[in-house]
């Protein structure tokens, strides 16, 4: 096994267990949820992301979807990975308002996020765009409009190839 795998494998194991503990499956395929974070991690790696970014890719949905907290992530994987995951975690709640209001809140959170989180967010957008495009044409129209708006605020990565690929994935 390569050095990257040895460094990132504990995050993959942790995310796999966290998503499995709540019985989470992918919406359209009914596959174990972890297939999505793995694909996001692979995209991050393909575009030259760091080990910490790959780890955050594996962990990017655990705070939103499981009982894991940012503090848990920091305790297990350190402050760098925790900051990236925090930047990837939606902060809106249903009480904030309708979908448009919540997406605006989450967009601002992403705009304020560090470069590393914006980089991983591009990979997340790419994988979700493919999955939604293949499986839910009606929602795909809404999703792609929302992601174009989101990409507009990811200013820290606008010159990166991964940003251009994410934009291409939603246009």
Q: Residue holding tokens 């914006």?
A: 118
Residue 58: CB atoms within 10 A of its CB come to: 28
d(CA 109, CA 129): 20
Exactly one of 31, 42, 45, 64 is catalytic; name it.
64
Give the whole-angstrom CA distance, residue 72 versus residue 68: 6
Question: Nearest CA to 61 among 113, 111, 110, 24?
Answer: 24
| Cα separation of the two ends of the chain | 37
160 is catalytic: no
71 is catalytic: no
Alpha-helical regions (H) of the chain: 3-21, 35-46, 51-59, 62-65, 70-77, 79-88, 99-112, 115-135, 137-153, 161-170
Q: Which of 42, 45, 65, 136 is catalytic?
A: 65
Active-site residue list:
64-65
């Amino acid at each position: 096994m390569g050095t990257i795998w040895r460094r990132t494998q504990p995050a993959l194991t942790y995310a796999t267990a966290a998503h499995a503990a709540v019985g989470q499956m992918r919406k359209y395929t009914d596959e174990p949820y972890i297939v999505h974070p793995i694909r996001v991690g692979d995209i991050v790696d393909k575009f030259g992301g760091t080990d910490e970014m790959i780890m955050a890719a594996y962990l990017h949905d655990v705070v939103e979807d499981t009982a894991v907290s940012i503090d848990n992530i920091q305790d297990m994987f350190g402050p760098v990975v925790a900051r990236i995951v925090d930047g990837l975690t939606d902060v809106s709640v249903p009480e904030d308002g309708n979908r448009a209001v919540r997406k605006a809140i989450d967009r601002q959170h992403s705009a304020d996020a560090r470069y590393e989180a914006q980089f991983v967010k591009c990979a997340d957008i790419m994988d979700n765009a493919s999955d939604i495009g293949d499986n839910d044409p009606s929602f795909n129209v809404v999703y792609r409009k929302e992601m174009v708006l989101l990409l507009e605020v990811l200013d820290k990565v606008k010159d990166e190839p991964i940003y251009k690929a994410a934009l291409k994935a939603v246009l």
